[in-house]
Structure 1
Amino acid sequence: MVKKIAILGLCAALSILAFMVVGARGNWDFVLAFRGTKLISLVIVATAISVSTIVFQTLTSNRILTPSIMGFDALYILLQTVLVFALGGFGFASLAPELKFSLELFLLSAASLALFGSLIGQGTNDLFRMLLVGVVFGVLFRSLTGLLQRMIDPNEFSILQGALFASFNNVDTKLLTLAAPLVIACCALAWHKRNVLDVMALGREQAISLGLNYKRELMMGLALVTALIATSTALVGPVAFFGLLVSAISYEVIKTHHHGPIFLTSILISIIVLVGGQTIFERVLGLGATLSIVVEFLGGLVFLFLILRRVRM
């Protein structure tokens, strides 16, 4: 296990090195500063998505589910559409990045925590009801989005389209001072709770019998997931299957239920995929394709594979 993590760490370091130096020309002070801030953005997003997915799958006792099932993607798209509809294309484009990020983070977090607070009860059925309601709200948000998009001016809709798809190439580095401390704090809490998550992975009844305050830890874990996924979504946009792709590979590479090694593995794999993939698409392919589309395609294939394998079992 240690050897595998060490190999992944080496691959992640090589990906970071390649991202920083491949194709670099001109003033190295400018190149390293420019690429360094972009690298930090990719690492923050990779860490937030991987940790939030692992924690969410533990809380739901299901390795197929991801936080996007709660309607985050649909809510994010609805929020962008409402902003364009209310402010117009020019007002939307001129909105301060910090204000826009804070607004998105607040609304995404408030909506999900309201859902948790109203649905979490004494039994596990409430958790599955929460997931079902998340799907229903996702459909509602998409319907409202479709209605508003039909009412938006075509010229303004073209501006909106740029904000509806995940973009790992255009992360606003001004937001790092807001996103980085939040992600670091959440990941530190997740690491501190790794042994608690090991117990929660056994199931509600077993965790309670071992003396765990299950409801409190469940709410804390869901709040943690909310903060991480809201931050990553506000930074790069909606990403439905990336977390599923990373978590599935992590559990196959490190065949353990202990969250310490799983956290490390998922973060390293996520960095390799994002940083290494962005290096290839930027430096080798010349942005001839989009990393987010490829990642979502591979994640969708993994999702279908997991569904079919579970059906056969």
Structure 2
Amino acid sequence: MRANDEIESTGTAGPTKIDTSTEAAHPTAAAVVNGGDRSGTGARDGRPPRRGSATAQRSSGPLPTKRSQRRYWTMIIVLAVASAGIALGILAWDNPMPITDPGFWLIAELRLTNLVVIALVALCQSFGTVAFQTVTNNRIITPSIMGFESLYVAIQTSAMYFFGVTAIVELKGLVPFIVQLVLMVGLSLALYGWLLSGRHSSVALMLLIGVVIGGGLGSVATFMQRTLTPSEFDVLSARLFGSISNSDSSYLPVSIPLCVLACLGLYLCSSRLNVVALGRDMTSNLGLNYKGELLKVLFFVSILMAVSVSMIGPMVFLGFLVAMLAYQFADTFDHKRLFPMAALIGFVVLGGAYFVMKNIFYAEGVVSIIIEIVGGGAFLLVILRKGRL
């Protein structure tokens, strides 16, 4: 009787008070108590929340607090300004003509091709790596694990081994570029379709077989390289470094549409990628075809990686570095916000590396060296400070 009296007296005294710390930690539970307001910011019994309370400041979106929103947009603005500065530096630095002279713009126009290549590779690596890490549910691996770089190395080495130095020169054209794209995309689609279309499909098995194929192609390429003459090996080595100078303006009419369509396709799948990131069981329970979404995303990723590798050569560490920094700076798992952040970081990293190597070390185009140094240092810093990615 005494307990019932206490319950009745509590019920007549008014609504139950809830600790604001509990509401901040569990906004969904607070919303249920607040009369069904799902955002966690609504009033109880029609009364507005107190100013400065945790419920008034939080929301259920990907950026739940005003502080996280300010941080995200501040980073976007800073990266956009840095990208514009790097682009201007690439076009104008060490230009012998004054900016008012028509010759200045002629020289800047010649440098514009490299700037477009940097933007394309940054888009391909950023979008492709973030999407690949999402569907594989692993923040350490990159699409290079599927053997794209190894296939590129095998193609270049085979051309040198069977046809000599002249074959390397002849491979720098639109037709060889398209052939490399078709081979890379075809190999990846055959691998995806075979391993993910069966009844017992497994992403882990797909990754394992990709590692084996990549290792096998690398071993064959290494064997052929050891039989080359020193002069042939020097010419081949220049093509096997990730370098902006490996690109050609004739590649752009094919690579630009492919890159734009694949990036647009992944961006339109952002909300579905948010669900796929929850895992196979949760995705199926929420009504999505997990296998279909997986194949669609991997198809776009294979196009992006094939374009990137065929344009400038192997760039193993760039995608990992960009994805890692994007998660750190964006502080959200929403792909609609991760993709733009990753693209800007990719341009800043790749464009900055190109500017430094060209104007300080006078090693024009060879950007893979500085990217691996910076990327390895950033990886160790994040691991040692936070203990996680």
TM-score band by shorter chain is over 0.9
**Which consecutive residues of structure 2, in runs of 5 or more, have no partner in the other structure?**
1-71, 98-102
Quote the residue 2:339 is aligned against: 263
Shift of 1:290: 4.0
Indicate how the Cα distance of structure 1 residues 311 and 144 shifts in structure 2: closer, same or farther if over 3 A, else same. farther
Normalized per residue, the structure richer in helix is: 1
Quote the residue 2:115 is aligned against: 39
Quote the residue 2:170 is aligned against: 94
Indicate how the Cα distance of structure 1 residues 304 and 129 shifts in structure 2: closer, same or farther if over 3 A, else same. farther
Alignment of 1:283-298 (within 5 A): 283-287=359-363, 290-298=366-374
- One of 168, 173, 186 as aligned partner of 2:249: 173
- One of 140, 154, 157 as aligned partner of 1:64: 140
Q: Write the letter of the residue equivalent to 2:373.
A: F
Contact 1:78 1:142 in 2 (8 A): yes
Indicate how the Cα distance of structure 1 residues 117 and 295 shifts in structure 2: closer, same or farther if over 3 A, else same. same
Contact 1:64 1:307 in 2 (8 A): no
Quote the residue 2:75 is aligned against: 4
Cα distance between partner residues in 1 of 2:181 and 2:196: 22
Indicate how the Cα distance of structure 1 residues 310 and 205 shifts in structure 2: closer, same or farther if over 3 A, else same. farther
- Name which of structure 1's ranges 145-154 and 285-294 shifts more when overlaid on structure 2: 285-294
Alignment of 1:202-213 (within 5 A): 202-213=278-289
Quote the residue 1:128 is aligned against: 204
> Which has the greater radius of gyration?
2
Cα distance between partner residues in 2 of 1:308 and 1:60: 24
Shift of 1:195: 0.8
Cα distance between partner residues in 2 of 1:266 and 1:226: 18
Q: Write the letter of the residue equivalent to 1:134.
A: G
Shift of 1:304: 5.6
TM-score, L = length of structure 2: 0.75
Count of matched residue pairs: 313
| Percentage of identical aligned residues | 35
- One of 77, 86, 95 as aligned partner of 1:15: 86
| RMSD over aligned Cα atoms | 2.3
Shift of 1:22: 1.7
Indicate how the Cα distance of structure 1 residues 305 and 123 shifts in structure 2: closer, same or farther if over 3 A, else same. farther
Alignment of 1:208-287 (within 5 A): 208-287=284-363
Shift of 1:309: 8.3
Q: Which runs of 4+ in 1 moved over 6 A?
A: 122-125, 305-313
**Which consecutive residues of structure 1, in runs of 5 or more, have no partner in the other structure?**
none
Cα distance between partner residues in 2 of 1:115 and 1:105: 15
Contact 2:160 2:167 in 1 (8 A): yes
SS of 1:51 mapped into structure 2: helix
Contact 1:16 1:276 in 2 (8 A): no
1:247-277 superposed Cα distances (whole Å, 9 cap, x missing partner) = 1111000110100111000000111111122
Indicate how the Cα distance of structure 1 residues 278 and 124 shifts in structure 2: closer, same or farther if over 3 A, else same. farther
Contact 2:147 2:213 in 1 (8 A): yes
Shift of 1:303: 5.0
TM-score, L = length of structure 1: 0.93
2:276 counterpart of 1:200: yes
